[in-house]
Amino acid sequence: MRSSSSPVALDLDRVKERARGLRGDEPMPPINEGAVEQLARARRADGRIDLRSLELSVLPYALEGLGKEELRALHIYKHLWKQGVQNLSEIKTISRATLTALESRAAIEHLEPAGRIDSDDGTTKFLWRLHDGHHIESVLIPDEDRPGPNANRYTLCVSTQVGCAMACSFCLTGDMGLKRNLTPAEICNQALQVNAQMPAGRRLTNIVMMGMGEPLHNFDNLIVALRILLAEDGLNFSHRRITVSTVGLVPRLQQLAETLPVNIAVSLNASTEEQRLQVMPITKKYSLQALMDCCRALPIPSCKRITFEYVMMAGFNDTLDDAARVGELMRDVPAKINLIPYNENPDRSIRRPSPEVVAAFQGYLSDRGFNCTVRATRGIDVSAACGQLGKTVERMASRIPLAPAAPAPQEHA
């Protein structure tokens, strides 16, 4: 295994073929620049590599010199994500000598459960302590007894950063500022460890990157995490069941759409440039027109739509004139509009529009042929609703008893 001045793409199918002995006579391909960078980002403060922050195609390069790298990589990867092991010593099929060598260079990162709060509406907010003492939150949103073949949906709202740099005026997470990016392991472990706490016969069905942080501001780690979530030997979610929400980092939005077929949600929240500048500072860098032009050009499959999230704030962006302008913005965009009545909290003077105003706004757009829905408020009594994550994280950490350790997760179907 060596660096190459002419990098070649790592072929996952080739790695798996070699792991099964189908191409065992061929040498490993030269490691490419992307794999080198992924290995570097996965290196912990103690010098060891966090194996949960690596894609399967990169994992063999972390096992250099141990022999049968591809076979070991596939074996370890399945234990990481299918069995949910928390220590290398739990992989009983690794010899003692190999385990000793592996433990000196690699580790398995997991989140420390620091508490949970259950809402009256069934929503659950999880608090996790990270290895450096920071805390993040995830929110489990059950939606049961729905009409149709998929009667039960269990959605996990996942964080991608500690805090957020976007400073949207209506979002409490921005008050924290950005502390740091989450690693791929810290992103995916939220899904892995919540799945392990689901009641028997239930498992997560949907993942939304709508927790703490701006996902596209942590792009490289996000892409690795998404590939782990999508991988058959990883967490094995369908691309139809994963949504990435963004304030509109235009170049990264284009790059995401070209890289992976996940669902995209854009946080719009205004009907004019002037409005958006007041509540979303990112508009100074990427104008509303630039954002919409980007959305029109995205390579979205015909079976999918871009979701435009619109936080409705009383007296600011909730008139029928606003609705008309939103409709105009959606011209030639494969769009669906999700209205989010603002979730009031003591830290903001912003108010929630009345149900009648929300219904009129929705009706205006629906009557003109737009797919327009209103998001049900969930978890507001435990500060788990949209825009409320992060503000109480340290307070939660100090007053909530440590959650019990989770059992080994079941394989996601």
Marked catalytic residue, from 109, 137, 214, 309: 137
| Residue 372 annotated as catalytic | no
Please say whether the beta carbons of 49 and 39 come within 8 A.
Answer: yes
| Residue 137 annotated as catalytic | yes
Tell me the Ramachandran region of residue 387: left when phi exceeds 0, alpha when psi lies from -120 to 50, beta otherwise. Answer: left
Marked catalytic residue, from 168, 171, 188, 386: 386
What HEC string does the chain produce? CCECCCCCCCCHHHHHHHHCCCCCCCCCCCECHHHHHHHHHCECCCCCEEHHHCCCCCHHHHHCCCCCHHHHHHHHHHHHHHHCCCCHHHCCCCCHHHHHHHHCCEECCCCEEEEEEECCCCCEEEEEECCCCCEEEEEEEEECCCCCCCCCEEEEECCCEEECCCCCCCCHHHHHCEEEECCHHHHHHHHHHHHHCCCCCCCCCEEEECCCCCHHHHHHHHHHHHHHHHCCCCCCCCHHHEEEEECCCHHHHHHHHHHCCCEEEEECCCCCHHHHHHHCHHHHCCCHHHHHHHHHHCCCCCCCCEEEEEEECCCCCCCHHHHHHHHHHCCCCCEEEEEEECCCCCCCCCCCCCHHHHHHHHHHHHHCCCCEEECCCCCHHHCCCCCCCCCCHHHHHHHCCCCCCCCCCCCCC
Q: How far apart are CA 113 and CA 135, in angstroms?
A: 10
Cα Dmax for the chain = 71
Catalytic residue set? 137, 386
